[in-house]
Structure 1
Amino acid sequence: MLATLGPLPSEAVGDRWAFEVKQDGQRAMVYLPGNGTILVRARSGTDITAAYPELLPLAGVLGAQSAVLDGEIVALDDQGRSDFERLQQRMGLASAPAKAERMAALVPVHLMLFDVVFLDGRLLTGLPYAERRSLLEGLGLTGPAWSTPAAITGHGAQAWEMARDAGLEGLIAKRLTSRYEPGARSKTWVKIKVHRLADVVIGGWVPGRGRLTGLPGAVLVGERRDGLLHYAGSVGTGWSQAERTRLAELLQAVTTDTCPFTQLPPVSGARWVLPHLVGEVRYTSRTRAGRLRHPSWHRLRPDVIPGDLT
């Protein structure tokens, strides 16, 4: 079951929803047949059990009790937040168990469990979320590489503020009465992202295609540190057609043959501009290299001088 991107439920109906931290990892279904074995499948259905050897002891935790659990495999940073860039070092190793064992010592993962869809021979998908959640918590699944993070009923605004202040990616709101809909992207599960804002300097752009021919398909942006412009990422969404047309005119007026970034961005077909235009972008988080993740354009900042962004 997948969540739909949307706004935070209003306070008027907040007590009808539970709120969980949105984890940034690899979605996984965990099959525990009750015979001491475990099977972990990715969202695609691929068997990824061998990629995560630290999860193998979960096979015996429930004894002869059978269960199918839904969760997210994450790699945590130094602050205990899920870090997808870190997790990528562990993904794709199901066919290389020896390497998976070595990497498990270097980049351990943790399984965050948030639902149970089958228990003791009984299919639970028709039960409301609140009942499934109670059954899941009753299993007491807390171990060295797995846990059942808390879900908060109501108080969505406070939960969102806590997620924002902690630097988390966002929340998942789940209607207490929602059934589990396998394979569906349901409006009874809502993904609420925490967006951050950054002032950036435009240093280049990439021409668009199709209906965007002659217009910027994306702009290449940077941030000033120590008087130098460091590449921060490519922004290709967030404009109306009129805003994109206006931006094209501004970019043409400051064109140059010289890349203004300290290092050449890994982008083909780029056109460079003098670093005179400042914009504000939304983004969810940063990579360890400091680049913006999931950036989208918010607005031009004609009130800000690029040299003031040091």
Structure 2
Amino acid sequence: MQSDTVGARLVRPLASPCHPRFRDMSLPHIDPVPLQLVDAAYDDDDWICEVKYDDFRAIAYEENGACRLINRKSHHCKRFRRLSNRIPDSIRAESAILDGEVVGLDDTGQAQFEDLMQNLRPPVYAVFDLVHLNGRDPRDEPMVERKRLLEEILADDPTPLLFVRHLEGQATALYQSICEMDGEGIVLKPKQSPYRQIKGRTSLLKVKNLDYTQAEDRGD
């Protein structure tokens, strides 16, 4: 999640297909499904809720022991090269495409955007969805099934990956707790939702903490 100014400091244009490091990658391009802002959280047993991390949305492409992180504007996040180099050892897969956020976490697990910007904390990839696995496209499978597959492929010690866990039917309680901890907000997702936009619309929702002290217009 970044403004144009911040993004310009962190990313460079995506390497061409003939870039030596990614020459052997054959993975499809994935556009991250955006989040729709709503005013309030609500409880529904057919929906899951997650903590919304406040940093950089990125798609991770992993194949043949190499990985690249690509932001929402299809730029290669070269600033996080060390992080992306460690991701292949954190998952058990020949190839995978993950969706998540690059975050800098403090000792309480809270995302600290400026600390990440100033390299005061090591970046972590908070991963919440699996959209490609070993040549298989699971995007039409239910959200909860994709998350189950994602958790299964994580290494016993997945550092620097952080699996974003979820709750079912407890969105209002999670939102209240996140606000009390000065977090950015929460994300709501239908359990059965595919990883797709339908006619330009998304079923993935975000509820922001209106009193968030790190608030800045950085996108999703």
TM bracket (short chain): 0.7 to 0.9
Please tell me the residue identity of whatever aligns with 1:7: D
- Who is 2:182 aligned against? 167
Report whether the alignment pairs 1:110 with 2:115: no
Tell me the secondary structure at the aligned position of residue 139 of structure 2.
coil
- Who is 1:60 aligned against? 89
Report whether the alignment pairs 1:21 with 2:51: yes
Alignment of structure 1 residues 107-146 onto 2, 5 Å: 107-141=121-155, 142-146=157-161
Please tell me the residue identity of whatever aligns with 2:35: A
Determine if contact 1:52/1:109 at 8 Å carries over to the other structure.
no
TM superposition shift of 1:118:
0.4
Tell me the secondary structure at the aligned position of residue 75 of structure 2.
coil
Please give the alpha-carbon distance, in whole angstroms, between the structure 2 residues aligned to 1:138 and 1:187.
26
- Structure number with the bigger relative contact order (C-alpha 8 A, sep ≥ 6) is 2
Determine if contact 2:58/2:99 at 8 Å carries over to the other structure.
yes
Please give the alpha-carbon distance, in whole angstroms, between the structure 2 residues aligned to 1:184 and 1:52.
35
Alignment of structure 1 residues 239-258 onto 2, 5 Å: none
Please give the alpha-carbon distance, in whole angstroms, between the structure 2 residues aligned to 1:128 and 1:8.
24
Please tell me the residue identity of whatever aligns with 2:126: M
Give per-residue Cα distances to partners, 1:22-62, cap 9 Å, x unaligned. 110111111111x1111111111111245330331222333
Please tell me the residue identity of whatever aligns with 1:19: C
Select which of 198, 213, 220 maps to 1:285. Answer: 213
Determine if contact 2:41/2:207 at 8 Å carries over to the other structure.
no
Tell me the secondary structure at the aligned position of residue 203 of structure 2.
strand
Tell me the secondary structure at the aligned position of residue 52 of structure 1.
helix
Determine if contact 2:41/2:175 at 8 Å carries over to the other structure.
no
Which runs of 5 or more residues in structure 2 are unaligned? 1-32
CA RMSD of aligned residues (A): 2.3
Report whether the alignment pairs 1:179 with 2:194: yes
Larger radius of gyration: 1
TM superposition shift of 1:137:
1.5
> Kindly tell me: are residues 63 and 22 of structure 1, through their superposed partners in 2, closer, same or farther at Cα, counting changes over 3 Å?
closer
> Kindly tell me: are residues 9 and 188 of structure 1, through their superposed partners in 2, closer, same or farther at Cα, counting changes over 3 Å?
farther
Select which of 60, 63, 72 maps to 1:30. Answer: 60
Give per-residue Cα distances to partners, 1:38-92, cap 9 Å, x unaligned. 1111111111245330331222333552110000001123432112222223xxx
Please give the alpha-carbon distance, in whole angstroms, between the structure 2 residues aligned to 1:112 and 1:40.
12
Alignment of structure 1 residues 1-310 onto 2, 5 Å: 1-11=33-43, 14-33=44-63, 35-49=64-78, 51-63=80-92, 65-89=94-118, 103=119, 106-141=120-155, 142-181=157-196, 186-196=201-211, 284-286=212-214, 293-294=215-216
Which runs of 5 or more residues in structure 1 are unaligned? 90-102, 197-283, 287-292, 296-310
Greater share of strand residues, 1 or 2?
A: 1
Determine if contact 1:55/1:146 at 8 Å carries over to the other structure.
no
Please tell me the residue identity of whatever aligns with 2:192: T
Determine if contact 2:96/2:130 at 8 Å carries over to the other structure.
yes
TM-score where L is the length of structure 1:
0.54
TM-score where L is the length of structure 2:
0.75
Give per-residue Cα distances to partners, 1:247-294, cap 9 Å, x unaligned. xxxxxxxxxxxxxxxxxxxxxxxxxxxxxxxxxxxxx214xxxxxx35
Determine if contact 1:2/1:185 at 8 Å carries over to the other structure.
no
- Who is 1:302 aligned against? none
Please tell me the residue identity of whatever aligns with 1:285: T
Determine if contact 1:2/1:184 at 8 Å carries over to the other structure.
no
Tell me the secondary structure at the aligned position of residue 48 of structure 2.
strand
